[in-house]
Amino acid sequence: MTRKYFGTDGIRGLTNTAPMTPEVAMRVGQAAGTKFLRGSHKHRVLIGKDTRLSGYMIESALTAGFTSVGMDVVQVGPMPTPAVAMLTRSMRADLGVMVSASHNPFHDNGIKLFGPDGYKLSDADELEIEALIDTAPVLAAPAAIGRARRIDDAQGRYIHSAKSSFPDRLRLDGLRIVIDCAHGAAYKVAPMALWELGADVIPIGVDPDGFNVNAGIGSTHPEAMQERVVASGAHIGIALDGDADRLIVADENGALVDGDQLMALVVTDWAKKGKLKGGGLVATVMSNLGLERYLTGQGLTLERTNVGDRYVLEAMRARGFNVGGEQSGHIILRDYATTGDGLVAALQILSVLVTSGKPASELLHLFDPLPQLLKNVRFSGGAPLDTDGVKRVIAAGEARLNGTGRLLIRKSGTEPLIRVMAEGEDIGLVTEVVDEICAAVVAAG
């Protein structure tokens, strides 16, 4: 069934342009509220957001929608996406909502929905809500309209939950850490959690003004973090994105470490401790072949899924894995969270850093990645991947890489982009293949 509102990660778009308008947000609240009005108990939805200007508008519209069908609303203000998932469970809410466009710029926004178990909704649930969005809602009687209230201690609850993932016997004393919060949802909680564990914290990206979320900073723009690590003589740098469900790390030399290397470290550490479940990890088709070869050498497996942390999580739950994630830095540790959590993942990395006594540059580079190149091609409409010319060029590229690498072409689920990725042992060949396919897509568009 074709989706009208939901993409690969909730509903997302340019603010005040369909579908990210207050009208649609209110209808989403009414539709999701209607679906989750189950049982005779008093129903509750928890709403969090990041720091972008439009968050106030979308939060208010959602609140109007939920209360109009009889759901109480708990507003927690700016909080990381994983905090919303955790609080939804701990407060026994029927539904959790995160208002965020993740790593996108301030002018975009989005709506992510979590079920009462703290997991993102299934495709089937989202399709049911889609059908209800375009259906006239059954409004609550005047005496049954929901109430809305804001709670003030949500940040402390999440900090406590995140710190509980860190070994009780350890502290971060003597560790100098740069933490880049992207002027986003974790701008208070992440530096505070690290400080409470004893670290010498150097925070950047902690002055949100509604417009600067992810603007030249955070996990998608880690240059400021890298520079600060070197300039301050820090032991490690951590960059989160706007809703803090992903991270990228820099070692003490400012060299970047992506999600593949971070997952390799966690899996290796957990396997040694007997904590690992599933015999390996779940990652997407984007993860480097170097990671796969490293895991094979460790006697561990790599299960691949389509791109999207929701698909990683579905595979983890179905196959019994407790570690999974994406090269981009979404890392899911099911022992501690029901979704990607940048802070919790960072604490796992820091725990190994403390106990090993090794510098981050040695600890965080477990394998040599194969040369990999990803380019995005914007298109104005149509289906360029279905044209004969593009199909011929893709087939030729696959033949050239056969046995020495691999090719992945996909359409973005959130933007009008074709993503072209190739990796292999010969960077020259990889570059030629990617450039030829990108040129063919441009010509077709």
Q: In this structure, which topology does domain 259-363 adopt according to CATH?
A: Alpha-D-Glucose-1,6-Bisphosphate; Chain A, domain 3 (3.40.120)
Secondary structure letter of residue 52 according to DSSP = -
Q: Return the domain boundaries, the chain.
A: 11-153, 174-255, 259-363, 372-444
Report the DSSP beta bridge partners of residue 238.
179, 249
- What amino acid is encoded at 86 in this protein? M
CA atoms of 185 and 50, how far apart (whole Å): 4
Digit-by-digit pLDDT tens for the chain (445 residues) are: 568 899 878 999 999 999 999 999 999 999 999 999 988 888 999 999 999 999 999 999 999 999 999 999 999 999 999 999 999 999 999 999 999 999 999 999 999 999 999 999 988 999 999 999 999 999 999 999 999 999 999 999 999 999 999 999 999 999 999 999 999 999 999 999 999 999 999 999 999 999 999 999 999 999 999 999 999 999 999 999 999 999 999 999 999 999 999 999 999 999 999 999 999 999 999 999 999 999 999 999 999 998 888 899 999 999 999 999 999 999 999 999 999 999 999 999 999 999 999 999 999 999 999 998 999 998 877 788 889 999 999 999 999 988 788 898 988 766 788 999 999 989 999 999 999 999 999 988 7
Name 201's bridge partners: 177
**Which residues, including other chains, have CB under 8 Å from residue 245's CB and lie 6 or more apart?**
80, 81, 82, 102, 309, 330, 339, 340, 341, 342
Instruction: Give φ, ψ of 3 to 5 degrees.
Output: -90, 135
Q: Order across the sheet with 176-180: list the strands.
A: 200-204, 176-180, 236-240, 247-250, 256-257
pTM across the whole model: 0.91
CATH number attached to the domain at 372-444: 3.30.310.50
- What DSSP assignment string belongs to 252-297? TT--EE-HHHHHHHHHHHHHHHT---TTEEEEETTS-HHHHHHHHH
**Residues paired with residue 373 on neighbouring β-strands, in sequence order:** 422
Whole-angstrom Cα distance, residue 103 to residue 7? Answer: 15
* The CATH fold of domain 174-255: Alpha-D-Glucose-1,6-Bisphosphate; Chain A, domain 3 (3.40.120)
Measured in whole angstroms, how far is the alpha carbon of residue 118 from the centre of its chain? Answer: 15
DSSP 67-78: HHTT-EEEEEEE
Q: Any residues with CB less than 8 A from the CB of 124 and at least 6 apart, and which?
A: none
Domains 174-255 and 372-444 fall in the same CATH topology: no
CA 414 to chain centre: 13
Residue 367: C-alpha distances to residues 20, 51, 258, 364, 411 (Å) = 42, 37, 12, 9, 29
In whole angstroms, give the CA distance from residue 144 to residue 242: 36
- For the record, the structure tokens of 323 come out as 């570690």
Q: Known catalytic residues?
A: 102
Residue range 11-153, CATH number: 3.40.120.10
